[in-house]
Structure 1
Amino acid sequence: MRASRLLSLLLLLQNRGRMTAQQLASELEVSVRTIYRDVEALSAAGIPLYGDAGHAGGYQLLGGYRTRLTGLTVAEAEALFLSGLPGPAAELGLGSVLAAATLKLQAALPAPLRGNADRLVERF
Protein backbone atom coordinates (compact mmCIF):
# COMPACT_ATOMS: atom_id res chain seq x y z
CA MET A 1 0.00 0.00 0.00
CA ARG A 2 2.90 2.36 0.66
CA ALA A 3 4.12 2.24 -2.95
CA SER A 4 0.64 3.20 -4.12
CA ARG A 5 0.53 6.08 -1.62
CA LEU A 6 3.97 7.33 -2.70
CA LEU A 7 2.85 7.32 -6.32
CA SER A 8 -0.39 9.10 -5.38
CA LEU A 9 1.58 11.73 -3.46
CA LEU A 10 3.86 12.25 -6.44
CA LEU A 11 0.89 12.56 -8.83
CA LEU A 12 -0.90 14.99 -6.51
CA LEU A 13 2.12 17.29 -6.49
CA GLN A 14 2.52 16.88 -10.23
CA ASN A 15 -1.11 17.78 -10.93
CA ARG A 16 -1.80 20.42 -8.28
CA GLY A 17 1.57 22.02 -7.68
CA ARG A 18 2.41 23.18 -4.17
CA MET A 19 0.52 21.43 -1.37
CA THR A 20 0.94 21.50 2.39
CA ALA A 21 1.60 18.37 4.42
CA GLN A 22 -1.88 18.76 5.93
CA GLN A 23 -3.51 18.95 2.48
CA LEU A 24 -1.61 15.87 1.34
CA ALA A 25 -2.49 14.00 4.54
CA SER A 26 -6.19 14.83 4.13
CA GLU A 27 -6.18 13.82 0.48
CA LEU A 28 -4.38 10.53 1.13
CA GLU A 29 -6.19 9.83 4.42
CA VAL A 30 -3.00 9.44 6.47
CA SER A 31 -1.30 11.41 9.24
CA VAL A 32 0.90 14.44 8.62
CA ARG A 33 3.80 12.46 10.09
CA THR A 34 3.26 9.78 7.42
CA ILE A 35 3.47 12.49 4.75
CA TYR A 36 6.79 13.67 6.22
CA ARG A 37 8.14 10.11 6.04
CA ASP A 38 6.82 9.64 2.49
CA VAL A 39 8.34 12.93 1.29
CA GLU A 40 11.66 11.88 2.82
CA ALA A 41 11.44 8.50 1.03
CA LEU A 42 10.67 10.18 -2.32
CA SER A 43 13.59 12.57 -1.86
CA ALA A 44 15.91 9.67 -1.00
CA ALA A 45 14.76 7.95 -4.20
CA GLY A 46 15.89 10.96 -6.24
CA ILE A 47 12.55 12.70 -6.79
CA PRO A 48 13.27 16.46 -6.90
CA LEU A 49 10.97 17.67 -4.09
CA TYR A 50 11.24 21.03 -2.41
CA GLY A 51 9.64 21.91 0.91
CA ASP A 52 9.02 25.36 2.39
CA ALA A 53 8.26 25.66 6.09
CA GLY A 54 5.82 28.14 7.54
CA HIS A 55 2.30 29.40 6.96
CA ALA A 56 2.65 29.81 3.18
CA GLY A 57 4.86 26.73 2.86
CA GLY A 58 4.29 23.36 1.32
CA TYR A 59 5.87 20.78 -0.94
CA GLN A 60 6.34 21.00 -4.68
CA LEU A 61 8.23 19.27 -7.46
CA LEU A 62 11.21 21.16 -8.84
CA GLY A 63 11.94 22.10 -12.41
CA GLY A 64 8.71 20.88 -13.99
CA TYR A 65 9.52 17.29 -12.99
CA ARG A 66 6.95 14.85 -14.37
CA THR A 67 6.66 11.11 -13.89
CA ARG A 68 5.58 8.67 -16.57
CA LEU A 69 4.28 6.17 -13.98
CA THR A 70 0.63 6.61 -14.91
CA GLY A 71 -0.51 3.11 -15.90
CA LEU A 72 -4.01 2.13 -14.80
CA THR A 73 -4.75 -1.07 -12.95
CA VAL A 74 -7.78 -3.16 -13.89
CA ALA A 75 -9.64 -2.08 -10.73
CA GLU A 76 -8.94 1.59 -11.48
CA ALA A 77 -10.17 1.21 -15.05
CA GLU A 78 -13.38 -0.40 -13.79
CA ALA A 79 -13.82 2.38 -11.25
CA LEU A 80 -13.88 4.94 -14.06
CA PHE A 81 -17.42 3.84 -14.85
CA LEU A 82 -18.39 5.26 -11.46
CA SER A 83 -16.39 8.47 -11.81
CA GLY A 84 -19.52 10.60 -11.71
CA LEU A 85 -20.73 8.79 -8.59
CA PRO A 86 -18.17 9.25 -5.81
CA GLY A 87 -20.70 8.42 -3.07
CA PRO A 88 -21.65 5.00 -4.46
CA ALA A 89 -18.01 4.30 -5.33
CA ALA A 90 -17.04 4.90 -1.70
CA GLU A 91 -19.88 2.71 -0.47
CA LEU A 92 -18.58 -0.11 -2.67
CA GLY A 93 -15.08 0.31 -1.26
CA LEU A 94 -13.79 1.88 -4.47
CA GLY A 95 -13.34 5.45 -3.22
CA SER A 96 -9.55 5.29 -3.00
CA VAL A 97 -9.32 3.35 -6.26
CA LEU A 98 -11.41 6.01 -8.00
CA ALA A 99 -9.23 8.79 -6.56
CA ALA A 100 -6.05 7.05 -7.75
CA ALA A 101 -7.50 6.50 -11.23
CA THR A 102 -8.50 10.15 -11.50
CA LEU A 103 -4.99 11.27 -10.51
CA LYS A 104 -3.42 8.98 -13.08
CA LEU A 105 -5.75 10.20 -15.80
CA GLN A 106 -5.00 13.82 -14.97
CA ALA A 107 -1.26 13.11 -14.98
CA ALA A 108 -1.46 11.42 -18.37
CA LEU A 109 -3.20 14.37 -20.04
CA PRO A 110 -1.27 17.21 -21.65
CA ALA A 111 -1.58 20.53 -19.79
CA PRO A 112 -4.25 22.10 -22.07
CA LEU A 113 -6.47 19.02 -21.85
CA ARG A 114 -5.93 18.77 -18.10
CA GLY A 115 -7.55 22.20 -17.72
CA ASN A 116 -10.57 21.00 -19.68
CA ALA A 117 -10.78 17.86 -17.56
CA ASP A 118 -10.65 19.93 -14.36
CA ARG A 119 -13.53 22.10 -15.59
CA LEU A 120 -15.59 19.01 -16.44
CA VAL A 121 -14.99 17.53 -12.99
CA GLU A 122 -16.07 20.79 -11.36
CA ARG A 123 -19.22 20.94 -13.47
CA PHE A 124 -20.37 17.38 -12.75
Structure 2
Amino acid sequence: MSAWRRGKRSWGWWAFAAVGPPLIVADAAGQIDRGIADAQVAIFLATMALGTAAGLWIWGWRPATHMGPKMTWWPVLWVVQDLLVAFPTSAFVSTFGLAIFGMSQIVLGQVALSYPNGRMVGRVA
Protein backbone atom coordinates (compact mmCIF):
# COMPACT_ATOMS: atom_id res chain seq x y z
CA MET A 1 0.00 0.00 0.00
CA SER A 2 2.93 2.34 0.59
CA ALA A 3 3.86 2.10 -3.11
CA TRP A 4 0.40 3.47 -3.95
CA ARG A 5 0.88 6.34 -1.52
CA ARG A 6 4.27 7.20 -3.04
CA GLY A 7 2.85 7.25 -6.58
CA LYS A 8 2.29 10.58 -8.26
CA ARG A 9 -1.14 11.70 -9.43
CA SER A 10 -0.67 14.07 -12.34
CA TRP A 11 -3.30 16.45 -13.66
CA GLY A 12 -4.01 13.90 -16.40
CA TRP A 13 -4.69 11.20 -13.82
CA TRP A 14 -7.16 13.46 -12.03
CA ALA A 15 -8.80 14.44 -15.34
CA PHE A 16 -9.38 10.82 -16.34
CA ALA A 17 -10.55 9.95 -12.83
CA ALA A 18 -13.11 12.76 -13.09
CA VAL A 19 -14.21 12.12 -16.70
CA GLY A 20 -14.12 8.32 -17.05
CA PRO A 21 -16.86 7.24 -14.62
CA PRO A 22 -19.39 9.91 -15.69
CA LEU A 23 -18.92 8.88 -19.33
CA ILE A 24 -19.71 5.27 -18.42
CA VAL A 25 -22.79 6.36 -16.47
CA ALA A 26 -23.91 8.62 -19.34
CA ASP A 27 -23.54 5.74 -21.81
CA ALA A 28 -25.56 3.44 -19.57
CA ALA A 29 -28.25 6.07 -19.01
CA GLY A 30 -28.54 6.82 -22.73
CA GLN A 31 -28.88 3.17 -23.65
CA ILE A 32 -31.39 2.50 -20.87
CA ASP A 33 -33.40 5.56 -21.93
CA ARG A 34 -33.53 4.35 -25.54
CA GLY A 35 -34.52 0.87 -24.39
CA ILE A 36 -31.58 -0.91 -25.99
CA ALA A 37 -29.67 -1.83 -22.83
CA ASP A 38 -29.28 -5.57 -22.36
CA ALA A 39 -26.81 -8.01 -20.83
CA GLN A 40 -24.22 -7.32 -23.52
CA VAL A 41 -24.30 -3.60 -22.74
CA ALA A 42 -23.90 -4.37 -19.03
CA ILE A 43 -20.91 -6.62 -19.72
CA PHE A 44 -19.37 -4.00 -22.03
CA LEU A 45 -19.78 -1.18 -19.52
CA ALA A 46 -18.49 -3.34 -16.65
CA THR A 47 -15.43 -4.21 -18.75
CA MET A 48 -14.81 -0.56 -19.58
CA ALA A 49 -15.22 0.43 -15.91
CA LEU A 50 -12.77 -2.29 -14.89
CA GLY A 51 -10.33 -1.23 -17.63
CA THR A 52 -10.53 2.40 -16.54
CA ALA A 53 -10.02 1.48 -12.89
CA ALA A 54 -7.05 -0.78 -13.73
CA GLY A 55 -5.49 1.91 -15.90
CA LEU A 56 -5.87 4.54 -13.20
CA TRP A 57 -4.45 2.17 -10.61
CA ILE A 58 -1.37 1.36 -12.72
CA TRP A 59 -0.98 5.03 -13.63
CA GLY A 60 -1.11 6.12 -9.98
CA TRP A 61 1.02 3.25 -8.70
CA ARG A 62 3.80 3.29 -11.29
CA PRO A 63 3.66 6.47 -13.35
CA ALA A 64 7.19 5.99 -14.75
CA THR A 65 6.19 2.94 -16.84
CA HIS A 66 3.87 4.92 -19.15
CA MET A 67 1.47 1.95 -19.24
CA GLY A 68 -1.15 3.55 -17.01
CA PRO A 69 -2.09 6.41 -19.35
CA LYS A 70 -2.35 4.04 -22.31
CA MET A 71 -4.39 1.55 -20.29
CA THR A 72 -6.72 4.36 -19.22
CA TRP A 73 -7.09 5.90 -22.69
CA TRP A 74 -8.47 2.83 -24.47
CA PRO A 75 -11.61 2.20 -22.35
CA VAL A 76 -12.43 5.90 -22.15
CA LEU A 77 -12.12 6.29 -25.92
CA TRP A 78 -14.19 3.17 -26.49
CA VAL A 79 -16.99 4.48 -24.26
CA VAL A 80 -16.93 7.82 -26.11
CA GLN A 81 -17.31 5.88 -29.38
CA ASP A 82 -20.19 3.94 -27.86
CA LEU A 83 -21.99 7.18 -27.00
CA LEU A 84 -22.95 7.25 -30.69
CA VAL A 85 -25.32 4.37 -29.94
CA ALA A 86 -26.64 5.92 -26.75
CA PHE A 87 -27.24 9.41 -28.17
CA PRO A 88 -27.69 9.11 -31.96
CA THR A 89 -29.56 12.41 -32.33
CA SER A 90 -26.93 14.55 -30.60
CA ALA A 91 -24.86 16.55 -33.09
CA PHE A 92 -21.97 17.03 -30.65
CA VAL A 93 -21.78 13.34 -29.71
CA SER A 94 -22.00 12.30 -33.34
CA THR A 95 -19.30 14.71 -34.46
CA PHE A 96 -16.91 13.90 -31.64
CA GLY A 97 -17.63 10.16 -31.71
CA LEU A 98 -17.04 9.89 -35.44
CA ALA A 99 -13.90 12.02 -35.20
CA ILE A 100 -12.28 9.54 -32.82
CA PHE A 101 -13.93 6.39 -34.18
CA GLY A 102 -11.39 3.57 -34.21
CA MET A 103 -8.88 5.34 -31.98
CA SER A 104 -9.55 3.04 -29.02
CA GLN A 105 -8.56 -0.01 -31.03
CA ILE A 106 -5.33 1.71 -32.06
CA VAL A 107 -4.55 2.58 -28.45
CA LEU A 108 -5.34 -0.99 -27.37
CA GLY A 109 -2.89 -2.25 -29.99
CA GLN A 110 -0.28 0.15 -28.66
CA VAL A 111 -0.89 -1.17 -25.13
CA ALA A 112 -0.47 -4.76 -26.30
CA LEU A 113 2.71 -4.02 -28.24
CA SER A 114 4.37 -1.88 -25.59
CA TYR A 115 3.71 -4.08 -22.56
CA PRO A 116 5.28 -4.23 -19.87
CA ASN A 117 7.28 -0.99 -19.79
CA GLY A 118 5.10 1.25 -21.98
CA ARG A 119 7.56 1.61 -24.82
CA MET A 120 7.96 -0.47 -27.93
CA VAL A 121 11.43 -1.94 -28.22
CA GLY A 122 13.30 -3.99 -30.77
CA ARG A 123 11.98 -4.80 -34.22
CA VAL A 124 8.38 -4.02 -33.30
CA ALA A 125 9.15 -0.32 -32.94
Fold-level similarity (TM above 0.5): no
The two structures have a TM-score, normalised by structure 1, of 0.26
Structure whose alpha-carbon radius of gyration is higher: 2
Of Structure 1 and Structure 2, the greater helix share is in 2
The two structures have a TM-score, normalised by structure 2, of 0.26
Of Structure 1 and Structure 2, the greater strand share is in 1
